[in-house]
Amino acid sequence: MVTKSETTKTNKKTSTSKLDSKLTLINVQLQSINGQLLSSDISEDFVKFNRQNNVTLLEIKDKEIRIKLSERLFFSPEGPFRLDLEILGAYKYKGKLIESDILKEIDEIAHPLYSYASLVIAFITERFVTLPMIMAPYKAEEDYPEAP
């Protein structure tokens, strides 16, 4: 039998973005995907996995902003696959937004898009290499360690 023990905790939401209260995600859309399964003979000792992503502010109009996340996964030297995708996000906003404020916090604003991209990447890479590659839903780090 499982019992639930009651504890009193205060749930304080600490907002890292001053735009959090002004923005509401209204739509996420997979705009494009290009995945290629490569027939490469990996005879090298080490293969370096590369992940590049970029977030772009597309437009601000009529109480709505649109941003685009571009993700690119590939190996050096050429590895088992290559994957490129673009995801669009639409946000409704309240009050007045300044473009410079959006650009300062665009990676935090795009967090739901990173999460969606992580899901799509896991699904597609599972089809390529039988195990899903789970990407952290954040901006890519500069360097990844080499994989055997």
pLDDT by 10s per residue, the chain, length 148: 333 334 334 444 444 567 777 899 999 999 999 988 876 655 556 778 889 999 999 999 888 999 999 999 988 877 778 899 999 999 999 888 888 888 999 989 999 999 999 999 999 888 887 778 887 787 876 544 444 3
Is residue 144 in a domain? no
Is residue 134 in a domain? no
For 104, which DSSP code? H
Residue 53, strand partner residues: 71
* CATH classification at residue 105: 3.10.420.10
Coil/strand/helix, residue 41: coil
Is residue 140 in a domain? no
d(CA 69, CA 57): 9
Is residue 7 in a domain? no
Q: How many residues does the chain have?
A: 148
Is residue 14 in a domain? no
Residue 104, strand partner residues: none
Is residue 138 in a domain? no
Going by their DSSP bridges, the two strands 64-76 and 48-61 should be labelled as antiparallel
Is residue 5 in a domain? no
d(CA 136, CA 144): 12
- The tally of domains found in the chain comes to 1
Q: Which domain holds residue 106?
A: 25-129
